Amino acid sequence: MRFDRRKFVQLLGAVSADLGLAGSPASVSEAQPTPGRPPAAHAIDRSATIHRKNVVAIQVKPFCWVDEGVDKVLDTIEEKGNVNTVFVYTYDYDGSHITRGGTKPLPDHGRYSPDRQRMGGAFYDYDLKYFQDTTLRDFRSHDEPNLNVITAVSPSMKARGMQFFAWDYNNAFPVMMQSIPGLTEVAEIDVYGRRTSGACFNHPNFRAHLTGKIESYLSQYPSEVDGIIWGCERMGPIDNLIGGGWATAGICCFCSFCCAKAQARGVSVARAREGYIQLDRLFQTAAHQQRPSDGYFVAFLRTLFEYPEILSWNMLWHDSYHEVRSELYGTAKSIAPSKPFGFHVMQNITFSPFYSAADSYAKLSHYSDFLKIATYNNAAGPRLANFIHRLCQTGTVALTRNRARCVQVMGVKPSRYHNCS
């Protein structure tokens, strides 16, 4: 059964109005990057969400259920961690798994996975009626064709009093472009006109793909799925230029949808393009230690002053990212208002001033029932060190390409940095 579109639009309007974003599409099929604020709409009744008390959650990859068996995994996490909620990967293109001598040396994993290449995809069966507004319909994983992780795991969890949350993990793994027919057509276009490995959040076809998954979880599996955790570790063009981990290649996005959205905001596409090419040149010179006559930081600031469109384009990307997430939240609430819908927040928000300035908790709070913030061991350690190292390489923050100075500008205690580098 299709959900109520009118109610969906109302929910989208409410969320977007709270965010102060550009107008949300009236429907997925009508989605256009139109300007202006949406009309006043009914507010979402956040009190309808029913939260479990004292949630102890863990995320579990698909191969774990296959390697060890459903009950063995549930026994372990229940006994060792008192877990009462599982974020079950239902959509994931991360090919890594547990092999002897592999990249994930987890000694307490019960059995090694079969040593073969994995492609990822959806680890559940979805009804195509939820994907009528998109051509991106063929994404069922062939790694475990007989595993429907929702029907295979949820009943055993329910018998134990545990809750099943669909973990919809949307990182832009390049393999997705090879394995999802049509995905290249919605790819972000970089400043030089090249297609990249990430899909564009402003492309209606991709948005309908994302929305369809939320519909399928909640409408097709109403008694098995208790909530949704959604994540996508991606960043805007400035963060991708800086790099330092989790960056995707390409200064994006300059596709026709993004350019139209920029023009509607009064941002010059030509000036933004010119500015990012200048910035890219500056970063290239820093990488080759060709110091500008006024120094790296002055040159960086001067480029921003001369091309404020650089900042506008970066916010265009992040506003679009907020907009997509608020739409997914609105979709979920129109189907199952009592079920919690939360977001994974990538580790960069804990150490990158550029990322946290754009993807603020304040904005996230308008459309989230809960947040899962990546604060685990190597997010606070090696990744922070990598990020600072990269800042020094680019000369973005380091006034003199001096690492100690850079650490101070970042607001990080030098002792903390030295402990993790």
Nearest distance in Å: CB 325, Zn ion: 16
**How many residues line the site for Zn ion (CB under 5 A)?**
6
For residue 188, the minimal CB distance to Zn ion (Å) is 5
- Of 253 and 398, CB closest to Zn ion: 253
In 3D space, the residue among 169, 199, 152, 189 whose CA is nearest the CA of residue 59 turns out to be 169
Which helix or strand (DSSP H or E) is residue 333 part of?
helix 309-335
Q: How many CA atoms lie within 13 A of 236 on its CB side?
A: 25
Q: Which range in 123-131, 196-204, 211-219, 374-382 contacts Zn ion by CB under 5 A?
A: 196-204
**Looking at beta carbons only, is 258 or 310 nearer to Zn ion?**
258
Task: Choose between 167 and 254: whose C-beta lies nearer to Zn ion.
Answer: 254
Query: Dihedrals φ, ψ of 197, to 5°?
Result: -95, 5
| CB of 102 vs Zn ion, minimal distance in Å | 35
> Cβ of 358: how many Cβ atoms within 10 Å?
23
Main-chain phi, psi angles of 330, to 5 degrees:
-60, -40
The two tokens of residue 401 are 């390409």
Query: Max Cα separation, the chain?
Result: 68
Q: Tell me if 332 contacts Zn ion by CB under 5 A.
A: no
Return the range that interacts with Zn ion (CB under 5 A); candidates 44-52, 53-61, 258-266, 335-343.
258-266
| Token reading at 292 | 């500008």
Options 258, 286, 398, 410; binder of Zn ion; rule CB under 5 A: 258
Gap between the Cα atoms of 180 and 183, Å rounded: 6
Minimal distance, residue 202 CB to Zn ion, in Å: 5
Q: Which amino acid is at 73?
A: V
Q: Which is nearer to Zn ion, 258 or 267 (CB)?
A: 258
- For the bound state, the minimum distance from the C-beta of residue 187 to Zn ion, rounded and expressed in Å, comes to 9
Q: Which C-beta is closer to Zn ion: that of 62 or that of 250?
A: 250
Helix H or strand E segment including 150: helix 149-159
Shortest reach from residue 106's CB to Zn ion, in Å: 37
Q: Report CA-CA distances (Å) from 334 to 2, 49, 209, 223, 330.
A: 11, 12, 17, 16, 6
Residue 359 tokens read as 């993807």
The C-alpha atoms of residue 58 and residue 81 are separated, in whole angstroms, by 9
Of the two residues 246 and 257, which places its CB atom closer to Zn ion in the complex? 257
Segment near Zn ion (CB under 5 A); pick from 10-18, 36-44, 142-150, 250-258: 250-258
187 binds Zn ion (CB under 5 A): no
Of 52-60, 74-82, 193-201, 231-239, the segment contacting Zn ion by CB under 5 A is: 193-201
Token reading at 134: 């998109």
Q: How near is the Cβ of 93 to Zn ion at its closest, in Å?
A: 20
Phi, psi dihedrals of residue 198, rounded to the nearest 5°: -110, 140
| 253 contacts Zn ion (rule: CB under 5 A) | yes
Q: Tokens for 420, please give them.
A: 């993790």
Give the shortest CB-47-to-Zn ion separation in angstroms: 36
199 versus 335: smaller Cβ distance to Zn ion:
199
Nearer Cβ to Zn ion (152/258): 258
In angstroms, how far is CA 385 from the centroid of its own chain?
22
Binding to Zn ion in span 197-216, by CB under 5 A: 200, 202
Binder to Zn ion among 162, 255, 364, 385 (CB under 5 A)? 255
Q: Which is nearer to Zn ion, 257 or 296 (CB)?
A: 257
Residue of 337, 258, 281 whose CA lies nearest to 45: 337
Query: Of the candidates 179, 174, 175, 150, which has an alpha carbon nearest to the alpha carbon of residue 163?
Result: 150
Q: How far is the CB of 84 from Zn ion (least distance, A)?
A: 40
Chain positions contacting Zn ion, by CB under 5 A? 200, 202, 253, 255, 257-258
